[in-house]
Amino acid sequence: MLPLSPQRVARLRQEATSAMARGQIDRAKTALQQLDMVDTKSADTPFQLSRIAYEEGDRDACLTHLRRVVARAPDNAKLLIHAAERFRNLGAAEEALPVYDTLAALPGQALKARADKAHTLQLLGRFDEAGTIFRKLLRQHPHEAQLYRIFLATRKLAPGDPMLRAMEQLWARKTLGDEPRAHLGYALGKALDETGAPERAFACWTRANAAQRKAAPFDSAAQDREFDAVLAAQADLPRLPGGSDTPHPVFVTGMPRSGTTLVERILSAHSDVGAGGELGHALRLSYQLFGVGENMAPITDSARMQAFAARYRRIARRDVPGDAPVITDKSILSYLIIGLLHHAMPDARFVVVQRDPRDIALSIWRNHFVTGTHRYGNDLADIAHTIKRFRRIVAHWQATLPGLVHEIRYEDLVTDPEPHARALIAAAGLGWQDACLAPQDSKSAVKTLSVAQAREPIHAGRARGWKIYEKELMPFIRAWGDAPWD
């Protein structure tokens, strides 16, 4: 190819920028590909091509372009952060590690880059390496409350550990702001719980939740209206013909902290299954195509449903490494659109995980969620209302689509794993493999709060943990009322 004149290069850049801004992806891609043939130094061209590949669902192309971005922009913190996050999201977390090393050498980036590297090591199950980094960072930055929370997600402190004393000293500071107070409260509460001080632990979690609630208020009635509208929109769904499109999704859903990660790990231990984690695509795509929340219109357009299914499969394949014919998607709110998912993708399977609501409530209460997500989790009465609404919605699908949803109880699974794991594998349309009883042996990254538990063998150690906190959980128990626990 003949070299392009500077004027032509400038025009192509302008054309690509303008096309991207207008959403004309094909036109932007053509211009960028021409630039890419002559531009061997700029990081912007492969960066833009990586964005296009990502939207198109082309995982391999996205990763290839991102590697060129990293090579060409070793001093551009913004691009390196973007690349590292994409590597992690696309199942290439190992490739993010050296990027964080590069970032750490840049001005103003050392603390966050090293913490992000340590957190990535946690997701990969490399807890000792992560711990070494976190302990060094905390010696250097003892007032960085978030570091304690992330580190202790995979570590237990012994009584008398100097880190416990450091956290208590920081907790006593009256000038500690709400955000660091929340991070520290979850971490210190966990440490106190594990060292035999449950009342003090619950007090820390209560204060942490109050700080989270202040930052992200919750309107329970508004969410009820939203969910009611979404259910109503699925009242008269057309069913699409089944096909051989892949990947075939298995939606694993339930309340947060109910055991969905364990169920997904059992499924993904099967050689035909790839673990997607909380992909989050299904509900987002349904809102994009059919209306957001209360504005969702009745879903009756078969062509739009076909577009929904095709788009879901494409981006799910992008985000789940490998080419397994079956993937898991444990996005929590999938239960809200089971009807749409079933009618749009008749090959999809559905697993709902149930757990004692008191254990769910305690686990939600004691864990940090990204501010603005699971806002109900900062109030015990709201947690009770949300669990009861979840159960009503599941019961709705069981009544309208009988036999579709496979329910599994967490307590049954951890008490007597084999028969329930076998039933689970069968419900996913798969043949049994013994590896499914040893999900802890999987080397894949874990992207949820259960990062440490997912590396353990199946056991019943966390069942009925609520009994220790029965008195503190009375606001939840009163809000639950006379509804059955099972």
Q: Is residue 59 part of a domain?
A: no
What is the residue-averaged pLDDT of the chain? 92
pLDDT of residue 291: 96
% of residues, the chain, pLDDT over 90: 81
Give the separation between CA 154 and CA 190, rounded to whole angstroms. Answer: 11
- Calculate mean pLDDT across residues 84-97: 96
pLDDT tens track for 425-449: 999 999 999 999 988 766 555 555 4
Give the separation between CA 209 and CA 178, rounded to whole angstroms. Answer: 10
Give the separation between CA 255 and CA 353, rounded to whole angstroms. Answer: 8
- For the whole model, what pTM was predicted? 0.90
Q: What is the CATH number of the domain that holds 414?
A: 3.40.50.300
Q: Is residue 243 part of a domain?
A: yes
pLDDT tens track for 334-381: 999 999 999 999 999 999 999 999 999 999 999 999 999 999 999 999
When comparing pLDDT for 393 and 6, which is higher?
393
Q: Is residue 319 part of a domain?
A: yes
Q: 110: how many CB neighbours lie within 10 A of its CB?
A: 14
Q: 281: how many CB neighbours lie within 10 A of its CB?
A: 21
Give the total number of structural domains in the chain: 1
pLDDT of residue 405: 97
pLDDT of residue 445: 58
Q: Is residue 213 part of a domain?
A: no
In which band, very low, low, confident or very high, does the pLDDT at 307 lie, cut at 50, 70 and 90? very high
pLDDT of residue 461: 59
Domain residues for the domain of 247 are 222-480
pLDDT of residue 194: 94
Distance in angstroms between the alpha carbons of the first and the last residue of the chain:
70
Q: Is residue 386 part of a domain?
A: yes
pLDDT tens track for 15-37: 888 888 888 888 989 988 988 88
Please determine, for residue 13, whether its predicted confidence score (pLDDT) is greater than 60.
yes
Closest CA to 476 of 373, 364, 382, 375: 382
pLDDT of residue 2: 55
Q: SS3 string of the chain? A: CCCCCHHHHHHHHHHHHHHHHCCCHHHHHHHHHHHHHHCCCCCHHHHHHHHHHHHHCCHHHHHHHHHHHHHHCCCCHHHHHHHHHHHHHCCCHHHHHHHHHHHHCCCCCHHHHHHHHHHHHHHCCCHHHHHHHHHHHHHHCCCCHHHHHHHHCCCCCCCCCHHHHHHHHHHCCCCCCHHHHHHHHHHHHHHHHHCCCHHHHHHHHHHHHHHHHHHCCCCHHHHHHHHHHHHHHCCCCCCCCCCCCCCEEEEEEECCCCCHHHHHHHHHCCCCEEECCCCCHHHHHHHHHHCCHHHCCCCCCHHHHHHHHHHHHHHHHHHCCCCCCEEEECCHHHHHHHHHHHHHCCCCEEEEEECCHHHHHHHHHHCCCCCCCCHHHHCHHHHHHHHHHHHHHHHHHHHHCCCCEEEEEHHHHHHCHHHHHHHHHHHCCCCCCHHHHCHHHCCCCCCCCCCCHHHCCCCCCCCCHHHHHCCCCHHHHHHHCCCCCC
Q: Is residue 302 part of a domain?
A: yes
Please determine, for residue 419, whether its predicted confidence score (pLDDT) is greater than 60.
yes
Q: Is residue 241 part of a domain?
A: yes
Q: Is residue 249 part of a domain?
A: yes
